[in-house]
Amino acid sequence: MSQAIGNTALAYARVWHHVDASDRILGKLAERIALVLMGKHKPIYDPSVDCGDYVIVTNSRNIKVTGNKDKQLVFRKHSMFPGGLKETPYKDMMVKNPDEVIRHAVSGMLPKNKLRDRRLERLYVFPSYRMGVLGGNIMRSWDDGTLPPDWDPRLPTTSQTLQALRDQQSS
């Protein structure tokens, strides 16, 4: 006998979340992103079901780390050939590929199982605040919950665009 009450399709629907990584701590941000990718914030969470949401991270260049991690953290990869170990310090990785830093941290926070790659495919990381056409999918949330008077649902809303709107309204 089924215990399901009502339509559960809405509970399984995937929602798009936007995260601004400016001045956020890498580990704490990666933990929150991993929870959303797994779907632990939903009442229907099951470890064996891939019911998580999409996450878009912007401003990955501006992420921070605590302590001496900016000097000590090293990213390693191996080609599986003898002498094929490549090591990249954190500072070089932030210059060359800042979105890989967040992707690596989130990957470490996810469970090591067959669902991991599918969950990471739903993570989109951008080095600046521009996210292209994906911005139209975002479930929007504002600080005070009110919509701007000239709000257009087709335009992506980020913290920079909202701040520009506030500056225009105040002047």
Strands (E), the chain: 16-20, 54-58, 74-78, 85-89, 123-125
Which residue, 54, 33, 23, 58, is CA-closest to 130?
Answer: 58
Would you give the distance in Å from CA 47 to the centre of its chain? Answer: 20
> What average pLDDT score do residues 154-161 get?
63
* Per-residue model confidence (pLDDT) at position 145: 43
How would you class 3 by CB atoms within 10 Å of its CB: exposed for 0-12, middle for 13-18, buried for 19 or more?
exposed
Instruction: Give the predicted TM-score (pTM) of the model.
Output: 0.77
How many Cα atoms sit within 13 Å of 160 on the Cβ side?
Answer: 11
Which domains, from first to last, does the chain contain? 12-65+94-170 (3.90.1180.10)
1-43 pLDDT tens trace: 456 555 677 778 888 888 888 889 999 999 999 999 999 988 8
- 49-90 pLDDT tens trace: 898 999 999 899 999 999 999 999 999 999 999 999 999 999
For 79-124, how does the pLDDT look when each residue is reduced to its tens digit (9 = 90+)? 999 999 999 999 999 999 999 999 999 999 999 999 999 999 999 9
